[in-house]
Chains A and B, each alone.
Chain A
Amino acid sequence: MGKSTISGKNRTGIDMSPIDAKEMMALVRVSPPSSAGNEQAIAERRSQYFAEAGVIGSVPPPGTLKGIASTAMEKLTGKNPEAFIDKLGCRLAFERAGVRLYDALIAKCSAAPANSIVPLDRLQDFRNEELEHFKLVENAMRSIGADPTAQTPSADVDGMASIGLVQVLTDPRTSVAHCLEAILIAELADNDAWQLLIALTEKMGMSDMARDFQNALREEDEHLAYIRQWFRQMVMEDAAVAS
């Protein structure tokens, strides 16, 4: 594999313009700030908004209670099903987005001429497993009367957090290693989120559902291990220190 990190005319640092940088610093030293204080002023202004803010949105009520297994309803009695539905909706959205992240990674790896580390068929398997997990959570939500097509608050916030990952994976200029790092961020978060969801599902008394989720977690463990290993190998090879 060739080097993906190269030396060139990076112009962003001050060492590229030593004379101008000194000029800039000289002016800064004699130019006091135009308003007093420090960055605490930003925190205070944010606090005012925090105090006045509403929530980012709500969890929709079940579309219909008809057809919901009475056992499921009994188990949720006395608990807060909205919090559970919110996290189910979050996992559903993340797995569905995960399919698209893998689609982008597969396209990137397919086009990378020197890619000998990441097997495409294995990526395709991971992609399909993300799809299965999406469907698994979809069915789980339906089984308790929740609408799997609704975007829950946690799903929305996870979407905000993931925007940068999509950008990295689809930018033609990023390397396979850059993209593996982005997927690694996703898989690390995903792995932790499945563990939390399983614990929550068990506490909600949904043991069958929790068992299904355990199977998904085992596959996610495998995704994480492989992505971590490929990324590590690429970084070491790029630095010419791979053993």
Chain B
Amino acid sequence: MALNLYEDKGCPLDRQRFTWKELVQPPISKLDDDAFTRVRVILMNGIEMEANRFSHACARMNRDLQLPLAQVRIVEQHQATMVNGLLGADHSTLETTVAYEQVAIEITAVVAQNEPDPYLAQVYRFGMLEDFHHLYRYSAMLDRLEGKDANNILQCYTDIVPGRPTVVEHRAPQDNLREHYHRAGAAPLTKLNALTIMSSEQQTQNFYLNVGPLYADPVARQLYAEIASIEEQHVTQYESIIDPNESWLEKWMLHEANEVYNYYGCMQQEPNPRIKAIWERCLDYELGHLQVAMDLFKQYERRDPAEILPAELPEPIKYESQREFVRRILNQEVDLRALGTQFVDKSREGDASRRYRADVNSSGSPTDTVAAGYQWLPGTELVRGKELPFNEELARDTELIR
């Protein structure tokens, strides 16, 4: 990776500013932009939301850091505003939800393959299969409530079939905690991966909690309630893999480095020039934030940031369909369950999770209801029996556009 964290200092914090017009820019096109542009928008909003939550928590515990945290935080607040505003209002809430699940599947799949720690790679694969199933359930809801095809959002990058059934994803809290990486020995990529996926899942949990009540339909509300509950488990899982012994300043530095890492990947792969310029600007600002955090780390901890951060960051997340990997994992690992911090075959699942699940599912599972007998078809399930024909000749031409 060309970026050097110790030489590329970015835009100094005191020169970072926005106008309201810059914060509210034209959104991406739901119809014409590539689905991975939307994936990047959603992921980066999640990264910014975590930056904000972390910064507030840090400020509450560290009087001396409150001013620099506030100075960085207001810029990140505005970055989050600018990024999240790129989603157009022609997305219904369920369409945005489908896009959130595409983020969870595709990004977690890449991370699972890049992760050098085999145990953590397993953790990511485990979570990914659950989000994969959520996509299937939400696609059924979108079809059966709004009469829309989820593939209009997914653009054929992501499959729409069952994964690990949501009804068996509910677990006792002790089965949602995992072992954490060790700050002294873990690879930088391990730390960035954990922050990225934890941020994304946390955003999803918050989103589902907030938007579920926007629907009048009690079935849709139940669906969001059930899946939000799994997302809470996912946040519990992913935050537990991060070493709790890292100092506040170490964590702050890692957050800023992770923002640099992810904005760089977005900028590098974005085909829409207007959105690419936004990623570039945010990258420049985040490099400035990292400088602030590194200076404070040196000042307060009397340590060299190079103990924590390499000069060059790892290869960025690849924004491309992970279909083959996801299918392989689906085939091999759908029957895994969690027992404490470990993963076991479903026949060895513990009593605590079984009991918890029996209680929470005792009045039925909304996700089962929503997707009863559901099989995705291009153009929604209402075309069943008269599937739309492919136009091979036209399709060959249009494939070139992508």
Contacts and interface: CB of A to CB of B under 8 A. Distances in A.
A172 to B, nearest CB: 7
A19 B370 CA distance: 29
Given A10-B32, A16-B156, A34 B162 contact: yes
B372 A33 contact: yes
Contacts, number: 140
A138 B368 CA distance: 49
Interface string A13-52: 1111111111111011001111111111110111001000
Bin the interface of chain A by size. 35 or more
A38 B390 contact: no
A13 to B, nearest CB: 8
16 contacts: A11-B31, A14-B151, A15-B390, A17-B402, A20-B323, A24-B160, A25-B378, A33-B162, A34-B162, A34-B165, A35-B373, A38-B372, A42-B369, A42-B370, A46-B219, A49-B218
Interface of B: 26-27, 30-35, 88-90, 133, 136, 144, 151-153, 155-157, 159-162, 165, 167, 216-219, 222, 321, 323, 327, 364-366, 368-378, 388, 390-392, 394-396, 398-399, 401-402
B158 to A, nearest CB: 9
A66 interface: no
A195 interface: no
A27 B327 CA distance: 9
Contacts of A167: 89
B395 A18 contact: yes
Nearest to B30: A12
B147 to A, nearest CB: 11
Nearest to A11: B155
A172 B25 CA distance: 11
Contacts of B370: 41-42
A18 B392 contact: yes
A172 B378 contact: no
B373 A31 contact: no
Contacts of B165: 34-35
A55 to B, nearest CB: 14
B228 to A, nearest CB: 18
Contacts of A37: 372-373
Contact of A18 (B27, B365, B390): B390
A192 interface: no
A222 interface: no
A67 interface: no
Contacts of B216: 160
A173 interface: yes
B377 A28 contact: yes
Given A14-B388, A28-B376, A167-B89, A39 B144 contact: yes
A11 B391 CA distance: 15
Given A9-B401, A46-B217, A14 B390 contact: yes
A33 B159 contact: no
B279 to A, nearest CB: 20
Contact of B321 (A8, A13, A20): A20
Q: Is the interface of B mostly helix, strand, loop or mixed?
A: loop
A212 interface: no
Given A16-B156, A18-B390, A45 B375 contact: no
A45 B372 CA distance: 12
A13 B395 CA distance: 10
Given A20-B156, A34-B165, A36-B372, A10 B31 contact: yes
Given A11-B31, A17-B402, A28 B160 contact: yes
Contacts of B376: 24, 28
A167 B27 CA distance: 14
Contacts of A22: 390
A28 B399 contact: no
Contacts of A202: none
Contacts of B401: 9, 11, 16
Contact of A11 (B217, B327, B373, B402): B402
B402 A34 contact: no
Nearest to B92: A164
A24 B159 contact: yes
Contacts of A35: 165, 167, 365, 368-369, 371-373
Nearest to A38: B373
A17 B155 contact: yes
A221 interface: no
B391 A15 contact: yes
A154 to B, nearest CB: 16
Contacts of B402: 11, 16-17
B399 A19 contact: yes
A15 B400 CA distance: 11
Given A14-B151, A15-B391, 17 more contacts: A13-B378, A14-B378, A16-B156, A17-B155, A18-B390, A19-B399, A21-B390, A24-B160, A33-B371, A33-B375, A34-B136, A35-B365, A35-B368, A41-B372, A41-B373, A45-B369, A46-B217
A16 B155 contact: yes
A208 interface: no
A216 B206 CA distance: 47
A31 B162 contact: yes
A61 B89 CA distance: 39
A42 B395 contact: no
B36 to A, nearest CB: 11
Nearest to A21: B156
A18 B374 CA distance: 23
Q: Which of A24, A40, A167 lies at the interface centre, i.e. has the most chain B CB atoms within 10 A of its CB?
A: A24
Nearest to B164: A34
